[in-house]
Amino acid sequence: MIQPIEHAAEILSTARRAVALTGAGISVESGIPPFRGKGGLWEKIDPMKVAHIDAFLKDPETVWKLLIKDMKRLLDTARPNPGHSGLADLERLGILKTVITQNVDGLHQMAGNSDVIEFHGNFAWQSCLDCNRSIETSQVDLTTLPPRCSCGGILRPDCVFFGELIPQKALIRSQQVSAACDVMLVIGTSAMVQPAATMPFIAKDNGAFIIEINPEATPLTSRISNLPLLGDAGSIMPRLLKALRRRLATP
């Protein structure tokens, strides 16, 4: 029987419009904890409560202290890992067209992917709740929390809190590329956050082959994944790229 990594490489070697859907898991090996799963933030706080827009508007100081401050500290220094680089390599090979990410860390762009749909916005910028001015997160002073704009208004990150709508453009483009792809790589997502979790179903309904990379089974694994690769993205992706390059080099 063909090994799963070889099978995935074979599928990708003939793909022309592959798309990746990524979640917090792909950034774990860059030192950013996920929400769910082992070592996840969920073990310490309930993100459904703390990362909810109502909680932020009611008590921005607490949400900055419990969640956003630490996120800023982690993201200021985080670098892409071999999982991200593997996706950048797949784009360079002409196989991967788009990355749909639920992450707000900017690591796909840093790794070199050029078409990244940020489904939940990004953490690189903050907006003032009063005057709507944008400020780069790296420039924000955290001496007093919540940090404020020069107008006195409270700053919030440009990411989507629970209870907020997905940016319309990101949602529509994600649906389009999911419907048009021939292979979807689903990497490091628990597939529990909607509507991102519907993208693999859209892809599958339109005939795509679903390759899933995750150390744990998800609701997708037994339902729609054609090929689950059980393991960490940072170790699976380099092996997958190696197997793929070998195939592409063999006439």
Residues 203-242 that bind ligand NAD (CB under 6 A): 213-216, 218, 232-234
Whether the link from the prior residue into 82 is cis, omega within 30° of 0, is no
Binding mask of the shown chain, residues 76 to 115, with x at each position contacting ligand NAD by CB under 6 A: --------------------------xxxx----------
- Residue 37 per-residue DSSP state: S
Instruction: Find, among 214, 212, 237, 215, the residue nearest to 223 by Cα.
Output: 212
CA distances 10 to 26, 59, 208, 227, 233, Å, are 22, 51, 15, 12, 18
Residues 118-137 that bind ligand NAD (CB under 6 A): 120
Establish whether 120 is a catalytic residue.
yes
Residue 131 binds Zn ion (CB under 5 A): yes
- Residue 41's CB is within 10 A of a number of other CB atoms, namely 21
Residue 151 binds Zn ion (CB under 5 A): yes
Count of chain residues binding Zn ion (CB under 5 A): 7
- In terms of CB distance, is 131 or 230 closer to ligand NAD? 230
> Which of Zn ion, ligand NAD, none sits in contact with 32, Cβ below 5 to 8 A by type?
ligand NAD
Give all strands (DSSP E) within the chain, no chain letters: 18-22, 96-101, 116-118, 121-128, 134-136, 155-159, 183-187, 209-214, 227-230
Residue 158 binds ligand NAD (CB under 6 A): no
| Coil, strand or helix at 125 | strand
- In terms of CB distance, is 152 or 207 closer to Zn ion? 152
Residue 40 binds Zn ion (CB under 5 A): no
Residue 153 binds Zn ion (CB under 5 A): yes
Considering only 19, 25, 87, 96, the residue that binds ligand NAD (CB under 6 A) is 25
Tokens of 132: 């709507």
Q: How far apart are CA 68 and CA 101, in angstroms?
A: 19
Which range of residues in 20-28, 57-65, 146-154, 240-248 is near ligand NAD by CB under 6 A? Answer: 20-28
DSSP notation for 187-231: ES--S-STTGGGHHHHHHHTT-EEEEEESS--TTTTTT-SEEEES
Q: Are 111 and 125 in contact (CB under 8 A)?
A: no
Residue 167 binds Zn ion (CB under 5 A): no
Question: Rg of the chain's alpha carbons, rounded to an integer?
Answer: 19
Residue 10 binds ligand NAD (CB under 6 A): no
Residue 21 binds Zn ion (CB under 5 A): no
- In terms of CB distance, is 130 or 216 closer to Zn ion? 130
Which residues are known to be catalytic? 120
Q: Name the site residues for Zn ion (rule: CB under 5 A).
A: 128, 130-131, 133, 149, 151, 153
Q: Name the site residues for ligand NAD (rule: CB under 6 A).
A: 23-29, 32, 34-37, 40, 102-105, 120, 188-190, 192-193, 213-216, 218, 232-234
